Amino acid sequence: MPLLRGRRSLWHRTDLKGLRAIVADGAIKPNDGSLPSSYETSIDIGHAGYRLGGVCLFDFDTAPLDDVHWAAQHWHQFLSCFHPATVVLELNRQNLAAGALIEQDGPSWKPPPHQPPGSRSPHYPRWIPHVEAWYKGPIQLGAVSRILVFRAFSGDKYEEVGAVDNAVTTVERLAAEWAADDEKTSSGHMHGLRAAMLAAHRRHFG
């Protein structure tokens, strides 16, 4: 948590493909349903970011630490959901328009319900309690203060990327290195398993 809490920052998570699009566009854009998403998005209910028309963010500073820890059951995969690399952009709050930022107002906050056509009752869109926030409108790259790249299945090991201009090249290199290393490790495990099975077969059958 020291990495994510205590800097009054907001965080946006994406993958290499998403980073390429962000750098090409010069901004993080809200998903109107036309962009790839790691969430299942329904035009009827969907995720809160889709319904609110905002960029999905994480805020680990505003809620009490106990609530952040409780919500970890929903956001624990935040740093490792993409293989071989998850890209996390740190955003400076001072570079964001306060009126466009939607934050959860207390522990009982819920997003506005939506009543799909033909439904008898309204439904709440999906959201992560306590730590999720949204920004209505694109977030310009000037608001990005740091870019971190987390390696999948590594215990939250990460590399800090330098300038935004070189971010895609750097992340592509890291992703290729990590994928190759994971493939080598996987092949080694399979070779060891085959050797163990062969040894067991020889012990039993001579």
Q: Where are the chain's structural domains?
A: 9-205
pLDDT at 11 over 80: yes
pLDDT at 26 over 90: yes
Q: Point out the least confidently predicted range of 37-41, 50-54, 117-121, 175-179.
A: 37-41
Question: Bridge-partner residues for 81, per DSSP?
Answer: none
Q: Domain 9-205 has what CATH class?
A: alpha beta
pTM: 0.81
Share of the chain above pLDDT 90, in %: 48
pLDDT at 170 over 90: yes
Give tens-digit pLDDT for 29-84: 987 666 555 544 444 457 888 888 899 999 999 999 999 999 998 888 888 889 99
Alpha carbons 69 and 134: distance in angstroms, whole number: 20
Alpha carbons 47 and 127: distance in angstroms, whole number: 6
Question: Are the C-beta atoms of residues 85 and 175 closer than 8 Å to each other?
Answer: yes
Question: What's the distance, CA 156 to chain centroid?
Answer: 13
Closest CA to 54 of 21, 99, 23, 7: 99
Q: What six digits make up the tokens of 122?
A: 């309204």
Alpha carbons 87 and 166: distance in angstroms, whole number: 14
Give tens-digit pLDDT for 131-169: 999 999 999 999 999 999 999 888 778 999 977 888 999
Phi, psi angles (nearest 5°) of residue 183: -65, -40
How many CA atoms are closer than 13 Å to the CA of 19, on its beta-carbon side? 26
